[in-house]
Amino acid sequence: MDSELPLLSDAQLPFHPFDPHPLDDDKLREECGIFGVVGVTDAANFVALGLHALQHRGQEAGGIVVHDAEQGFNSARRFGYVRDNFTSETLMKTLPGPIGIGHVRYSTAGSKGQTAIRDVQPFFGEFAMGGAAIAHNGNITNADLLRRELIERGSIFQSSSDSECIIHLMARSLQRNIPERMEDALRRVEGAFSVVAMTRTKLIGVRDPLGVRPLVLGKLGDGWVLSSETCALDIIGAEFIREIEPGEMVVATEGNPVESHFPFRRQKSRFCIFEHVYFSRPDSILGGRSVYETREAIGRELAKENPVEADLVCPVPDSGTPAAIGFSLESGIPYAMGIIRNQYMGRTFIEPTEQIRNMGVRLKLNVNRALIKGKRVILVDDSVVRGTTSRKIKEMILDAGAKEVHFRIASPPTAWPCFYGVDTPQREKLLAATMTEDEMRDHLAVDSLKFISLNGLYRAVGEATGRDPKQPQYCDACFSGEYPVKPADMINKGFELKPAAE
């Protein structure tokens, strides 16, 4: 297996110098993407391509584990982008075999500010019946409790990641084979999880009973593929078969039909609604719907709910683009690229000094001055988290001579942290947790600020009657404060849930 690499301090963390500092970002970040394939020649190459397509789900680090009949299990874990590591012929030659899984990471649980290579997934374990590796997307909400129990019973942890609990629970299980041990382990786990795992011959996929995080199944020749999103199937030419259902476990082997069963008590799905708003790539399919078309529908709904007289509709690139197009189509106000994103600054272009970090947004985005001057501009963005980036963009637009600036946000106010696999600031740092909509408008110093309503968002994702308050169709805890799984560890640390409605 791969050797350990050194600990990186916060200042050494690999990140794009023109992104905001990774520990002070103004966007919610999905923390990881998972991918696996069985029944292909040189599986690692397919895994690397799949991870490249899922890079938007985690840019901090990536890892691949493979198995070959002659060489056994091998792995590689690296900091930085997939393209900077897993395109090396020398490295890829160390990863032979017809089965492999991979993971791209942005930490939500585990070390913060100091990142160790041992926290990078997939995690591997040797069991009595052979080795197994797992890659996990989501967050275990009772990980502290499980970790304490496991350590007291003799488990020795190698990482600070909540996901490692699954491997230790599998090791302690008395079940006969790896899939059964995984079932046993996951029954102890609370929270959100989509897991891709592998043995020497089997590719395994599992979603938690609520189906909070995504996982899809694809076919490639005689082989099978598991992925966080359909866009990663496209890149390797795999056929999209279906989504793994909430609470389902699938086991795939080369040349055989996929085995499926449901080890958990069936529950009503609570898929993360923010996957539709921001996390997933616009060329992916979620719940049978094009993510792009859903975001365009969000923009249309936003225009219906919050009209305003203006000259231009401009997206905050790139995540606000489909919603801005929908807003323009519904309102009849012309769409324009008022802000241009610099797509081509490489990681090593310039050292990310404090001075460069302070320039931040201006180096990543530039205003199309000739277009903006003298205009009343509607800026469409996917969310407002801390509001720091929104203020800087507004200043740039006004500096370019805009007459008015109106913000329209393609999600409801983010007022609560996510504990299911998304990196969210503490609640007091969320703008919407401490301010009303009018107070946020004044804080950002814009002419108007309006968010799509929660019901409007539900209508845009295909729920014609809106949100069912008694049994919501999605997980929307970051907007509503209603957590479908109690965040036990955070409650033990003093986090206060929203009081139950009278």
Torsion of CA 106, 112, 117, 120, to 10 degrees: -40
Nearest to 199, CA basis, from 180, 226, 225, 179: 179
Residue 286's alpha-carbon distances to 150, 318, 501, in angstroms, are 36, 19, 31
Q: Residue 312 in contact with residue 324, Cβ under 8 Å? A: no
Residue 397's alpha-carbon distances to 303, 306, 371, 374, in angstroms, are 21, 21, 11, 11
Q: Residue 37 in contact with residue 94, Cβ under 8 Å? A: no
Q: Please report where in the chains the tokens 């305003």 appear, as a residue.
A: 308
CB neighbours (10 Å) of residue 85? 21
Q: Please report where in the chains the tokens 């991870």 appear, as a residue.
A: 51
Which tokens sit at 121?
Answer: 């997934």
Position 84, amino acid: D
Residue 2's alpha-carbon distances to 37, 77, 91, in angstroms, are 20, 7, 11
User: What long-range pairs does 279-284 form, CB within 8 A, spacing at least 24?
Assistant: 279/28, 279/30, 279/56, 279/57, 279/422, 280/214, 280/229, 281/53, 281/56, 281/229, 281/231, 282/321, 282/322, 283/231, 283/234, 284/229, 284/230, 284/231
Among the listed residues 32, 231, 272, 475, the single catalytic one is 32
Which tokens sit at 128?
Answer: 């009595």
| Phi-psi domain of 421 (left: phi exceeds 0; alpha: psi -120 through 50; beta: other) | left
Nearest to 403, CA basis, from 446, 456, 351: 446
Contacts of 432 (CB under 8 A, 6+ apart): 384, 413, 414, 415, 440
Which tokens sit at 53?
Answer: 């397509």
| Cα–Cα distance measured from residue 393 to residue 246, given in angstroms and rounded to the nearest whole number | 39
| Cα–Cα distance measured from residue 232 to residue 240, given in angstroms and rounded to the nearest whole number | 10
Nearest to 253, CA basis, from 217, 202, 218, 204: 202
| Cα–Cα distance measured from residue 56 to residue 62, given in angstroms and rounded to the nearest whole number | 12
User: Is 231 tagged catalytic?
Assistant: no
Q: How far apart are the first and last CA of the chain?
A: 55
Q: Which residues are catalytic?
A: 32
